[in-house]
A and B are shown apart, each in its own frame.
Chain A
Amino acid sequence: MDITQLPLPSEQSTASHAVELRLAGRFDAHEVDTFRAILGQILDGSGSGAATRVLVSLAEVEFIDSTALAELVRGMKHCRERDGDLILVSPSDPVRVILELTRLDLAFTIE
């Protein structure tokens, strides 16, 4: 899986301390440690201040398993504990199906 961290337009990022992560490929048990480390750095604010609003783009994710879903839930809870949110953006069809089947669509903010 590829994870790309993108700076958001300054207006949006300054207002909400937002960061976008673009995920591509398979997101499964083998990838969660990398995702957790990157998200941890973002939430801890190493460098340019902590973000509380994290947009996770899933448009190019081909497959997601339950361990990866658990990691997204974990990240979402951490963000909300900091009065922020982890928002799922443009989930691909396979990801959207899983979110609907598990009813995790009720738990996440999806844009």
Chain B
Amino acid sequence: MTTHVDPMQSLTAALVEVNEQLLVLYQLASITTESLDESEAVAAILEKARDLLAADLLTFSVDGDQVHSTDQLMRRHDDESHDRAPVGRAPNRTSVEVSNGRLTGSLYAHRDNRTFGTADHKLLTAIASMALGAVQTSRHHHETLEGAVARRDHDTASELAQLALPTWRPELPGVDVFARSDPARAAGGDLFTFAVLDDVLHFVAGDVSGKGLPAALMMTTVISAATAAFQSAGTAGPGAVLETIDNWVHKYLADAGLFVTLMAGSYDAGSRQLSIASAGHGPIFYIDDSGPRSINSVVPPIGVLPLSDLGPVEDTVLAAPPGSRLVVSSDGFTEQEDPAGQMWGEQRMLDLLVDSNLPATELGGLVFERLESYAGTAEQTDDRTLLIIRATAVETDAHG
């Protein structure tokens, strides 16, 4: 006896099945989750998908790590049987794998009473893709959030580091001081600081190698060391101040793979004695009626070699009458390029300093103004720091 299959009946059954699948796809597409927690988002999708598939268990994993299972107890039970009977061989359990290039998701499904057909596999693949998309969205959100928090922390740390630079300026008879530092980024490694002890002005200016927050954090350490060194070694001269700072920070800098070019100086307005010592920092110009001169470094930057290996750091001592000025800048001035890539250079700066015998604040403002004009649209590639110490007349000078 042969079984006759009515073609119309078969066609109708196929149409009904297609219709049901479309309905299921519609319902699947209507699953929405507002949760940005990947486990919650995947749970919402799997719980809905379990109903659509009439599945007893759905488990979704990403890169081998389970994100969610619709039934923990059943999952454990099934994991054991899963170990014994590989997926794909038993008709009432199956798994699909999807990948988006970055992540790979695996959806494992189990149904007690029905096998999985081709249409089920397509549906499982769609569910797995949807779950993987939810995981990626969640992870992207968290990465963005973490990035924002890190940026905020970085910005806060940068602001704190810049606060180490003094906002006050020494007010002492016989001397006029300008100091300004413009970092190329939120934080920079350029530094200056002062102290007035027994009517003598002590100062340092420097540049920590590297850029950004690491250099800025090291800068704060050097400022602290300098402030202490003024107290303990200031009377012995700037060379002794550099040696003292080196004693304290050399290992710290060396371990961090950084160095700091640093100059130290002192000015006694009573005796008109200006003393300077530089560890790799410059350019430093001294200008008086006889013309300009460069003050050269006597030792390498702090952090390169222990200064104690090189013997005492010698001071350059000058008699600085009223009108004379010491100008210390960082390489962010001389190496600033114009839009054509031409550097400002030392000569342009020196010409400006010689031609402009102005009070320190006006001269400093003029140097920054000229540099910014020269740079034009060119990017500021390095921190710019300028320190000007200008000797001025005091009452005793005027009458003496």
Contact = CB atoms under 8 A, between A and B. Distances in A.
A67 interface: yes
A66 B261 contact: yes
Contacts of B283: 101
Contacts of A6: none
Nearest to A78: B257
Given A65-B331, A66-B331, A104 B304 contact: yes
Contact of B300 (A67, A74, A77, A103): A103
Given A66-B331, A107-B305, A102 B297 contact: yes
B219 to A, nearest CB: 13
B296 A70 contact: no
Contacts of A77: 254, 257
Interface stretch (B143-151, B171-179, B204-212): B204-212
A66 B297 contact: no
Contacts of B257: 70, 74, 77
Contact of B299 (A65, A66, A106): A106
A29 interface: yes
A67 B303 CA distance: 14
A85 B305 CA distance: 14
Given A102-B261, A104-B280, A104-B304, A69 B209 contact: yes
Interface residues of B, number: 27
A77 B259 CA distance: 12
Contact of A101 (B209, B297, B381, B382): B297
Interface string A87-111: 0000000000000011110110000
Contacts of B157: none
B321 interface: no
B305 A106 contact: yes
Contact of A102 (B258, B280, B305, B310): B280
Given A66-B261, A74-B257, A77-B254, A102 B211 contact: no
A66 B206 CA distance: 12
B131 to A, nearest CB: 39
Interface string B263-306: 00000000000000001101100000000000011111101110
Interface in B223-272: 254, 257-259, 261
Contacts of B254: 77
A73 interface: yes
Interface string B186-223: 00000000000000000000010111000000000000
A103 B280 contact: yes
B281 to A, nearest CB: 8
Contact of B211 (A29, A69, A73): A29
Contacts of A67: 209-211
A107 B209 contact: no
A58 B382 CA distance: 23
Can you list the 4 inter-chain pairs with the closest CB atoms, starting with the nearest? Answer: A70-B209, A102-B280, A103-B297, A103-B300
20 contacts: A29-B211, A29-B381, A66-B207, A66-B209, A67-B211, A70-B210, A70-B257, A70-B258, A70-B259, A73-B304, A77-B254, A77-B257, A101-B282, A103-B279, A103-B299, A104-B300, A104-B304, A106-B300, A107-B300, A107-B305
